[in-house]
Amino acid sequence: MDFLGIGTQKSGTSWLYQNLNRIPEFSLLPIKEVHYFDRSSDYPSPNHLSITLLTDRFRNKKWLKKAFREVWNSIVKQNWKSVWFYLKWNFSDYSDKWYLSLFKKFYGYTGEITPSYSILNQEDISRIHKLNPNVKLVLMLRNPIDRAWSQYRYSKRHKRDFDFKKVSNKDIITFMEREAQILRSDYIRMLDNYSNIFPNEQILIGFYDAIIDKPSVLLNDIVKHISGDTTISIEHLNLEKVVNSSPKVDCPTEIKDYLKSKYHTQIKDLSEKFGGYCSKWYENLYVEESTIEKGTLLLPTVYMKS
């Protein structure tokens, strides 16, 4: 395993997964999000690996149906590497050794991207370091106000008969105050937790904004960070393709004002620490006349600072 995508949700991680997986020198797992290190039920995340023993999972008919379907679909497609993966993925006891073995047949630069790793505590981050102290980490960030609103919209995408026009601001704020949402937008906490365990040069921060402004520069930076190779080509990729988007709905004024107040201090701190896109967030939201001129080149990625 060469890299981990550690967050954040609704910040371009699906775009990153799909494009890395189309680079011949890279070989990612058939599923984007493993959720191994956040599998504890203490985390507000899917926890679908929380039942460690295979014998315990066999009692769940719904789980069995899904497991056999994943294997069978790979057989039908004659994708034997995926068949091997889904057999190991479903029919094993979960352990650190099992986790590392998932990458065994995936050659080139390998890794996985689980946005919920952004909410890990330092104890579980230390487990990652113990398993692979040299792993490269990629953290995708987005203006926390836009990220929070996108997460809300995304959470309602499959709700039958849900009408954004009829939802109350109170219900939206209740969602925004949930632990899962608060942790995923607490960038300072996640940056501190990871930088306390990993050297700063192993942590690359990419910005969602750069997917729109200069996607090829962003992806090249990430590829170089993971591989150390400046010769890997991405010219064959369609980097403008939108991946896993949320329903398009404008954020109500009251909610945006609430989020501006909630994240003011954090966005200001990020602006002072990293500048670039973080400063653009701050000035666009809180400063009447921005000092960032239109057309200014902003760095699509940054490393953690000491």
Does the pLDDT at position 287 exceed 70?
yes
Q: For residue 54, give the 3-state DSSP assignment.
A: helix
Domain assignment of residue 278, yes or no: yes
The H or E element that residue 193 is part of is helix 187-195
Domain assignment of residue 152, yes or no: yes
What pLDDT is stored for residue 294 in this prediction?
Answer: 66
Handedness of CA 157, 162, 164, 169 (dihedral sign): negative
What is the phi/psi pair of residue 205, to 5°?
A: -105, 120
Q: What is the tens place of the pLDDT at every residue in 130-155?
A: 999 999 999 999 999 999 999 999 98
Domain assignment of residue 57, yes or no: no
- Average pLDDT taken over every residue of the chain: 93
Strands 301-303 and 203-207: antiparallel
Q: What is the tens place of the pLDDT at every residue in 169-193?
A: 999 999 999 999 999 999 999 999 9
How many structural domains are present in the chain? 1
- In the chain, the percentage of residues whose pLDDT exceeds 90 is 86
Domain assignment of residue 85, yes or no: no
What is this structure's pTM? 0.93
Domain assignment of residue 167, yes or no: yes
Q: What is the tens place of the pLDDT at every residue in 241-260?
A: 888 777 888 999 999 999 99
Ranking 5-14, 159-168, 263-272 by mean pLDDT, the lowest is 159-168
Q: What residues make up the domain containing 296?
A: 3-52+94-303
**How sure is the predictor about 300, in pLDDT bands with cuts at 50, 70 and 90?**
very high
What pLDDT is stored for residue 162 in this prediction?
Answer: 80
Residue 138 sits in a domain whose CATH number is 3.40.50.300
Domain assignment of residue 79, yes or no: no
Does the pLDDT at position 158 exceed 80?
no
Q: Cβ distance 187 to 8 under 8 Å? A: yes
Does the pLDDT at position 295 exceed 80?
no
Q: Cβ distance 191 to 8 under 8 Å? A: no
